[in-house]
Amino acid sequence: MTFFGISILLLGIQAGSALADPEQDRKALTEHYRTLFPKLTLQDYADGVYAIDPGARQSWRAIEEFPPYEWALEEGKTLFSIPFSNSTHYADCLPNRGIGIAQLYPKWNSETGEVVTLAKALNDCRERNGEPPLPYQKGEIASLLAYLASTSRGKALAIEIPDSDPRALAAYQAGKAFYYERRGQLNFSCATCHVQNAGKRLRSEVLSPSLGHTSHWPVYRLKWGETGTLHRRFAECLKQVRAESPGAQSAQFRNLEYFLSYMGNGIPINGPSIRK
C-alpha cells in the first residue's frame, strides 16, 4: 500500500506535465502520510518530528515553556520598527504592513517571474531603499522572520500557484523535481528520508514527514545554539548526503520552498519554534 503510494508519487514526476497538478500532488502526499500516521491530524504536522516521537515531544514541550527564540523574536520586532536611512520601513514594502502574512509566502511574482520568499521580500525591500542585503542563514534576517511568523501564528499556510502565469507552475515543478532527485555521494533524495522513510530512525533521529516542513520557521536549533532559517536547514540536509548546496535563497531553494510550502497548505503557522 505504502509502496504503491510512493510509486504513484514518483510516476507523477516521471510523467512530467501531464500529471503535474499541485493539488493532486498535495492530496497524494497527504494520503501517503495518512497511511503511515493514521492518528495525526493535518494540524499536528506543524510540530515536525515531535508529532510522531512521543519521548522527544516531552522534552521539547519543556523547552517551549521558556523558549530560547524569544530573544530573536523581540529583536525582530524592534528591527522591524526601525526605519531605513531614507525613512522607509519594511512595512511599506509588504502587504498588510507585514502583519499576519507569513502564511502567504512564498509568493509568485509575475513581474519578475520568480518565487519570492518572505526572507527575499525583506532583502528586496532593503535593496530598493539603498540598504545592503542581510545574510540569509541567521542573525537579523532570522529575527525579523521570527517576529513576522509570530504575527501569523494559527493562520493556515495558503500558498497560491496562479493559473494566469505558466511560469509559476514551472517553478513549482522545478521545486518538486529537486525534492525527488537523488544526489550526493549517498545518492539520496529529500524524499528518500522524509517521504519513504518518515517515522523511521536514522541513527539517533526519527525522520519527520515533509508535511509541515515550512510552517514553523525560523527555528532555534539546540545544535546551532541560535535561531536560523529554513534554507540553512536545507543546506544541512544536503550536506548530510554529501551533496552540494545551491545556497540560501538561490532560485533552486526558493522553488523547493514553493513546492514544500504548497504541500503544507492548510497547516497552521507556529513559528518561530525549537528543534533539536
Residue placing its CB nearer to ligand HEC in the complex, 194 or 254 = 194
**Dist CA 214 CA 47 (whole Å):** 11
Please choose, out of 118-126, 129-137, 169-177, 235-243, the segment that lies near ligand HEC by the rule CB under 6 A.
235-243
**33 interacts with ligand HEC by CB under 6 A:** no
C-alpha cell at 5: 503510494
Report how many residues bind ligand HEC under the rule CB under 6 A: 21
250 binds ligand HEC (CB under 6 A): no
- Cβ closer to ligand HEC: 241 or 251? 241
Q: Is 241 in the site for ligand HEC (CB under 6 A)?
A: yes
The residues, any chain, with a CB within 8 Å of residue 146's CB and separated by 6 or more, are 69, 72, 73, 76, 218, 227, 271, 272
Determine the interface stretch with ligand HEC among 24-32, 123-131, 162-170, 200-208 (rule: CB under 6 A): 200-208
Contact at 8 Å (CB) between 37 and 2? no
202 binds ligand HEC (CB under 6 A): yes
State how far the Cα of 80 lies from the Cα of 84, in Å rounded to an integer: 10
Q: What whole-number distance in Å separates Cα of residue 249 and Cα of residue 110?
A: 18
Nearest-angstrom CA–CA distance, 148 and 80? 9
Of the candidates 213, 231, 232, 254, which one interacts with ligand HEC according to CB under 6 A? Answer: 213
Q: Shortest Cβ distance from residue 233 to ligand HEC (Å)?
A: 5
User: From CA 262, how far away is CA 160, in angstroms rounded?
Assistant: 7
Q: Scanning the structure block, which residue is given the C-alpha cell 495558503? A: 158
Is 94 or 141 the residue whose CB approaches ligand HEC more closely? 141
What are the residues binding ligand HEC (CB under 6 A)?
A: 48-49, 188, 190, 192-194, 202, 205, 207-208, 213, 219, 233-234, 237-238, 240-241, 256, 275
